[in-house]
Amino acid sequence: MRRLFQVAFKISFTLALPLAFGSCDKKETTKQPNVIVILTDDQRWDALSFAGNPHLKTPHIDKLAQEGVFFKNYFCTTSLCSPSRASILSGQYAHAHGVVNNFTEYPVDLPSFPRILQDAGYETAYIGKWHMGEDNDNPRPGFDYFVTHKGQGKYWDTEFNINGAGSKEIKGYYTTVVTQMADEWLKKPRTKPFMLILGHKAPHSFYTPEPKYAGTFNDVRIPYPASAFELDDKPEWIRQRLTTWHGIYGPLFDWRKQFPDSSAEAVKDFEAMIHAYWGTILSVDDSVGELYKTLKESGELDNTIFVFTSDNGLLNGEHGMVDKRTMHEPSIRIPLVVRYPGLTPIDQPVMVSKQVLTLDIAPTILELCGAPALKNIHGQSFKRLVQGDTTHWRKAWFYEYNYEKQFPYTPNVRGVRTDDWKYIHYPTGNGSTDQHMAELYHLTNDPGENKNLIDNPAYAGKRDELNAELARLLKETGAEPDRMPLDEGIKSALPDQKIR
């Protein structure tokens, strides 16, 4: 992937070029920058052409990377929609902001970067999938203009509540509809700087591409990943998950009608699912192109912090799993691209390899906007990191996920990731000994997490070191005592239809 990125964009890692960024600082204006955050749903880091996908072409998002910063190692701290979205807004871990599942509202008294910007004189808007509070589509604090819907929304003909006027069906393809609404809002005359978050449904299941993209990948053959068949050193719960809602032999979000099916022929259903997943992202790329064009025509492009990211990643068959929630790389690693000449010159694109988290979005945007900082947060601004200062940047962080009775296919997860290592364990929730084998991976030598070293005596010291680091991070971030639900085991029943 590194070679593809460098060849395509002629990029070298430019953290050692302070002179370039010094000249950038001299050109900064006193005019406050605008902010646009494009937030997709369930987009893994490599579901973009510039990130190395050989089949999925995303020229408009690629252009943002060509003119900005690509964060090669960007992660969510909980791979689940609502908790991760709350972390993006607040800069806090899920255990601190309290949105630990997909059915909890963002606390009305919890500060967020949109509320800070609104108080600082920005005109603020949210359009699209909010997904914090399953049955609530009313406006939320911090936004002058707010458009969302209940639950997951639909790829076609979603019922939107526009600024509290009540739910009303709007005909059309979701991505196109929210892009048009965002475009119209951006074109309004205004005297204030603006902040817009556009929340896409794509590429969340059930994957439904626009008709023009429905057959784009028909000729691309996609087998199950090799790791799906190499589970001997993995915990038993992963094998138990194979035939469930979140396993490769299960229904695959309705792409497989007869299940479980472990036959070789059933890979055709898996292939169709991946084709559709990629197809929805093509429309997202069109959306980015439309908003880029609008900003350019209005003269605001270079005065806008343009962020493209997602809430969490997605397992597409790795280790025999689909969906997210786990701490494996495809589940937690997500795209992040930031274009803003006040951060990096547009003719000097940058690739950052240090670990950056969803927790860092809020403090970075506020610093770049010259707005007051959020207090008591766990994230940090990456402005100085991008501009060459790597001192005091994190070397480790921890991951948390709580077992869900509504989706009983993943245990409680607590783990720590460093630049080179990952340790994952699965607490029971009642203080008793873990009922699942832990996992230990040397990511430098094994980026695919194919060899679990947890039972290798040669790495006992590393396991103990990372376990101690996890305990330190939990204490440091106020997660001790670590409260979590009881792990009731992997179950095979399908989730309730209305919450899928």
pLDDT tier for residue 134 given thresholds of 50, 70 and 90: confident
More confident residue, 229 or 499: 229
**pLDDT per residue as tens digits for the range 103-127:** 999 999 999 999 999 999 999 999 9
Residue 13 pLDDT more than 70? no
pLDDT recorded at residue 499: 87
Q: What is the mean pLDDT of residues 132-158?
A: 96
Tens digits of residue pLDDT in 58-117: 999 999 999 999 999 999 999 999 999 999 999 999 999 999 999 999 999 999 999 999
**Spatial CA neighbour of 182 closest among 202, 165, 197, 204:** 197
**Percent of the chain residues topping a pLDDT of 70:** 94
**498 or 49: which carries more pLDDT confidence?**
49
State whether residue 177 is helix, strand or coil. helix
Among 17-26, 185-194, 287-296, the least confident range:
17-26
Task: State how far the Cα of 464 lies from the Cα of 486, in Å rounded to an integer.
Answer: 25
Q: How far is CA 257 from CA 269, 493, 500, in A?
A: 9, 15, 16
- pLDDT for residue 25 is more than 70: no
Q: Is residue 9 part of a domain?
A: no
Q: Is residue 16 very low, low, confident or very high in pLDDT (cuts 50, 70, 90)?
A: very low
Mean per-residue pLDDT, 363-389: 98
Q: Is residue 378 part of a domain?
A: yes
**Cβ(270)–Cβ(334) below 8 Å:** no
Confirm whether 446 is domain-assigned. Answer: no
Structural domain contains residue 239: yes
| Helix 59-66, helix 2-9: angle, nearest 10 | 80
> At residue 22, does pLDDT exceed 50?
no
pLDDT (mean) for 431-458: 97
Instruction: Determine the pLDDT at residue 2.
Output: 37
Res. 312: pLDDT tops 50: yes
Q: Which pLDDT tens digit goes with each residue over 243-297?
A: 999 999 999 999 999 999 999 999 999 999 999 999 999 999 999 999 999 999 9
Query: Does residue 377 surpass a pLDDT of 60?
Result: yes
Spatial separation of the C-alpha atoms in residues 87 and 93, rounded to whole Å: 6
Evaluate if residue 11 carries a pLDDT over 90.
no
Stated length of the chain: 500
Number of domains in the chain: 1
Instruction: Answer yes or no: is 25 within a domain.
Output: no
Question: Can you give the CATH number for the domain in which 275 is found?
Answer: 3.40.720.10
Is pLDDT of 5 > 50? Answer: no
State the amino acid at position 308 in one-letter form: F
Tell me: pLDDT of 4 over 70: no
Q: Is position 81 within any domain?
A: yes
Q: Is the pLDDT of residue 485 over 50?
A: yes
Q: Is residue 431 part of a domain?
A: no
The mean predicted confidence, pLDDT, of the chain is 94
Q: Distance between CA atoms of 404 and 279, rounded to whole angstroms?
A: 29
- Calculate the alpha carbon distances from 464 to 416, 423, 461 in Å: 12, 10, 5
Count of other CB atoms within 10 angstroms of residue 302: 17
Domain that residue 166 falls in: 34-394
Q: What pLDDT shows up at residue 30? A: 62
Both tokens of 167, joined, read: 């739910």
Distance CA 346, CA 128 (A): 29
Give the three-state DSSP class for 39: strand
pLDDT of the residue at 28: 42
Q: Considering the domain boundaries, does residue 123 fall inside one?
A: yes
Question: Phi/psi at 57 (nearest 5 deg)?
Answer: -100, 120
